[in-house]
Amino acid sequence: MRTLLLALAYDGACFHGWQVQKNASSVQETFQDAVERVLGERPDCKGCSRTDSGVHAKCFCVSMRTEHPIPCERLMAALNHFLPESAAVLDVREVPESFHARYSCLGKEYEYRIWNARARSPFLRGRALHYYYPLDLDLLNRAASCFVGAHDFSSFCTLDGRDKGDLTRTITRSGWRREGESVIYTVAADGFLYNMVRILVGTQLYVAQGKLAPEDLPRILEARDRTKAGPTAPPQGLYLNRVFYRGLTCTEEGFQGEYHE
């Protein structure tokens, strides 16, 4: 029995999230359909996260177990033959039996992309938030810095039964940058709560609009009350950017490094 780790990329506009849905197309079901056509079996696939409808992944990690002897490179090519153009396998590795794409994960990095121009871009429809008001990156970065460190992010998550117990997460990177007309927020942490990144973005856009000040954010964190923070930003600008394991990082170029337990 082999344990395989696969890196996927997908256009979230074409799917209703990762997890299998009863009446909608999901990345998990699409991926498992391709695996079944290649291996003649439908192994249980463990995803590194639960991306929602409309959210994209530059890299998304999946682990599965199989007795099939197909080499990793051949498996990648075969799966890409059967996957739709909206999804692709970037890399395949054999990993120790105990590996689990979600529970072995040490952290993730997300990007939220905003098209900050007066006119919308038809080429970014479903792939970036069109926000045409001016954005002060110095102000936004003052706000973003308030989230770095270990905090209870109850004010910045949607509670629907997914997240229970300790809602403390440690953010190691939080900042904004501009690339032409694109403004991009990058945030990395040891874990994320449901809708956390989108609420962080929505709240910082409230800061950009003058509805909140950066100095208000520590108070909102302390309140542990979702109603104190800003709105949930739309999903189309959100990308899972990197996934971190012990000694191994998943990127849009594939796996970098070697996993060790």
Catalytic residues: 52
CB 20 within 8 A of CB 29: yes
DSSP letters spanning 158-169: --SSS--S--EE
DSSP 225-253: -GGGS-PPPPGGGEEEEEEEETTEEEETT
> Measuring CA to CA, how many Å separate 96 from each of 4, 104, 185?
8, 11, 34
Question: Could you give the CA distance from residue 241 to residue 258 in angstroms, rounded to a whole number?
Answer: 19
> How far apart, in Å, are the Cα atoms of 2 and each of 99, 104, 261?
11, 17, 16
Place of tokens 């809602």: 167
